[in-house]
Amino acid sequence: MVLNSGFKWKQLAITSFMLMGVIQPGCSLVLGQHASVLRFDAASVRLAESDHWGFSGGPGTSAPTLFQYRSATLRDLIRMAWNLDVSQIRSSVSIDTKHYDVIARLPDNTGRDQFREMLKALLAERFGLKMHIETQNIPAYRLTLVKSGSKLLPSKEGTPPELTVTVGFKDGYEVNRAIVKSQPLADSVSRLLARRDRLPVVNQTGLDGRYDYELTFAREGTDSDLPIPEPYLFASLREQLGVAVQKDRLPLPVIVIDAVNAMPTPD
């Protein structure tokens, strides 16, 4: 891909073992009864010592057996455990006011789905979380293929996951270049859409693998009278990847919190 000259770039690394706000059609999020509950080898949950937010480690990272989430709210933890967008969590009690530091050790070779089950168990046991899931029609983004088909290339086996956005400026516009490697389509598009509008992303393209691509797009809302140097995000996805994005109301699972404790049980 040839980029316009005259850019001043800064890089925003977005490398995490999971990306939020993604729902695949037909997935089941109902918490069932299991013969054995998956748990972390060890876990510490305490009130946050600072407001420095962020998480690291876990499946797919360079520290797969040590997961840390600093200054997380209950909404953050619930969203991660069920892999949902914030718009898919309903609660009559506050789940955003208190912040927690969570440190957990995982068994070797723990997968992402196993990790989420362990986090669900921690929320139930340490916070007394009780919830149920309803299907509601809520705003979401629908991904489909254009008539000419996909321009995406499947990732080669063994390619490490990456999603990096480089930000530059030209003619008064913010122009972004995304480099994506070994990511499910809906995961990566959800992350790119996050700065624009945090909504669930439903993949109806039929492309269920992992893909590598580069995408260049201008950020909307820039105050400039000059022509845009690159298409906006939706147009770039359509022209460069063959993926159409449409905002719609779709029947999706929503977590309804029945009960939860603000203070976790002691370590």
Please name the amino acid found at residue 265: T
Under the banding of pLDDT at 50, 70 and 90, the label for residue 222 is low
Classify 204 as helix, strand or coil: coil
CA distance 30 to 127: 19
CA distance 194 to 147: 26
Write the CB contacts of 132 (distance below 8 Å, at least 6 apart in sequence): 255, 256, 258
Under the banding of pLDDT at 50, 70 and 90, the label for residue 25 is very low
Question: Is residue 261 in some structural domain?
Answer: no
119 & 212 share domain: no
Tens of pLDDT, residue by residue over 80-129, are: 999 888 889 999 999 999 999 999 999 999 999 999 999 999 999 999 99
Classify 77 as helix, strand or coil: helix
150 & 217 share domain: yes
42 & 107 share domain: yes
Domain total of the chain: 2
CA distance 12 to 176: 10
Write the CB contacts of 65 (distance below 8 Å, at least 6 apart in sequence): 57, 105, 106, 107, 108, 110
Question: Is residue 259 in some structural domain?
Answer: no
38 & 78 share domain: yes
125 & 144 share domain: no
117 & 171 share domain: no
Question: Is residue 264 in some structural domain?
Answer: no
Question: Is residue 57 in some structural domain?
Answer: yes
Q: Tell me, what's the pLDDT at 24?
A: 38
Under the banding of pLDDT at 50, 70 and 90, the label for residue 263 is very high
Nearest to 187 by CA among 175, 169, 200: 200
